[in-house]
Amino acid sequence: MALYGRVALIGLGLIAGSMALAMRRGGLAGHIAGTARTDATRTEALRLGLCDTVHATATEAVAGADLVVLAVPIGAMEGLAAEIAPHLAPGATVTDVGSVKGAVIDAVAPHLPQGVHFIPGHPIAGTEQSGPGAGFAELFDNRWCILTPPEGTDPAAATRLRTLWEGMGARVDEMDAAHHDLVLAVTSHAPHLIAYTMVGVADDLRRVTDSEVIKYSAAGFRDFTRIAASDPTMWRDVFLTNRAATLEILGRFTEELFALQRAIRTGDGEMLHAYFTRTRAIRRGIVEAGQDTDAPDFGRAKTRG
Ligand SMILES: NC(=O)C1=CN([C@@H]2O[C@H](COP(=O)(O)OP(=O)(O)OC[C@H]3O[C@@H](n4cnc5c(N)ncnc54)[C@H](O)[C@@H]3O)[C@@H](O)[C@H]2O)C=CC1
Ligand SMILES: O=C(O)C(=O)Cc1ccc(O)cc1
């Protein structure tokens, strides 16, 4: 028997589309109901076989669902939570996949009725692509998914959601929302901002033509351009909702950057060498601990992009 009888996916983009395909692969959902705002997305989701039914409204999709997944940009979550709240089945679990957790909890939890389990989540897996056609079943394989269940969460509901993510190929960790937001500011949010900035700098530097940027892109800059092609709405919402942690990390980043800038200006090769030796050791530690899921020897499908 399927783990969840009826799953409602709100927002049929990269993450919801990948979840639909991964749930089908694992036989984890009896019925997948989806909702999207436009006719084009609903038609595309049916054509791709993501959903058994697609609905024009979120309230129709969540009716009778035992799992509801909010898979929209963070700024859209509060409005959707308010809209679906009166239509949720008693005992249902509501989860989300947002890249920031504290703000999502503040926005969503107050709207949900007693008897509904709210267990926020965040798959640490994605690409710069968006929309239903961007999804693929292997996206979560060997990737982490972080759950941030609030205190007092029903253990059976949390275990069931953990089992779903494991069934979709992910490894699951639990932590509190504030810690999640700090960790992700370091590992994802600040790096994305740096990529956006670097691509902006190259664009501003008119002495370097566009064709030269493309032609001579070494791997570092190529990765920046891929990341800087990510969805603008999603990333605007990430920075507006993880403000404190991102600003804290960017402050530290700026200090380090100034120190390196000074070392370059003063010709302090010793400082540069010591710094790069330290960072190389960090990278090697990650690979040796088997934490780099993109390493070629990890035996998994690489994230597309
Ligand atoms: N893209 C990535 O790599 C990752 C994204 N996330 C999170 O997952 C969530 C969804 O991201 P993606 O699937 O990448 O985005 P996406 O852009 O591919 O899909 C989002 C979908 O939500 C729809 N939508 C937007 N506002 C809506 C509203 N008010 N009502 C109904 N539908 C609405 C959009 O039309 C779109 O179809 C975001 O909160 C993001 O932070 C989490 C992990 C990775
Ligand atoms: O495409 C990439 O490199 C990513 O970093 C994907 C990603 C984007 C946002 C998340 O919250 C988690 C993963």
Residue 181 CA to residue 93 CA, distance in Å, equals: 22
Mean pLDDT of 120-141: 97
Domain ranges of the chain: 4-175, 179-266
Quick one: which H or E segment has residue 12? none
Model pLDDT, residue 1? 85
Which tens digits make up the pLDDT trace of 206-245? 666 667 777 777 778 888 989 999 999 999 999 999 999 9
Q: Whose CA is nearest to atom 6 of ligand 2?
A: 126
Ligand 2 center–CA 227 separation, angstroms: 8
Mean pLDDT of 26-55: 96
Mean pLDDT of 39-57: 95
Average pLDDT taken over every residue of the chain: 92
Model pLDDT, residue 208? 62
Mean pLDDT of 29-58: 96
CB 15 within 8 A of CB 72: no
Model pLDDT, residue 191? 96
Q: What CATH number does the domain located at 4-175 have?
A: 3.40.50.720
Q: Tell which residue, 241, 246, 244, 250, has the closest CA to residue 100.
A: 241
Q: Which residue has the higher pLDDT, 295 or 152?
A: 152
Ligand 2 center–CA 125 separation, angstroms: 6
Q: Supply the DSSP symbol for 187.
A: I
CB 119 within 8 A of CB 96: no
DSSP 212-274: HHHHT--HHHHHHHHHTTS-HHHHHHHHHHSHHHHHHHHHHHHHHHHHHHHHHHHT-HHHHHH
Model pLDDT, residue 305? 35
Q: Is the CB of 14 inside a 6 Å radius of any atom of ligand 1? A: yes
Q: Would you say residue 304 has pLDDT above 60?
A: no
179-266: CATH topology: 6-phosphogluconate dehydrogenase C-terminal fold (1.10.3660)
Residue 157 CA to residue 196 CA, distance in Å, equals: 39
Which tens digits make up the pLDDT trace of 86-98? 999 999 999 999 9
Q: Residue 126 — pLDDT band, cuts 50, 70, 90?
A: very high
Q: Would you say residue 18 has pLDDT above 70?
A: yes
Ligand 1 center–CA 223 separation, angstroms: 22
Bridge partners of 29, per DSSP, are 4
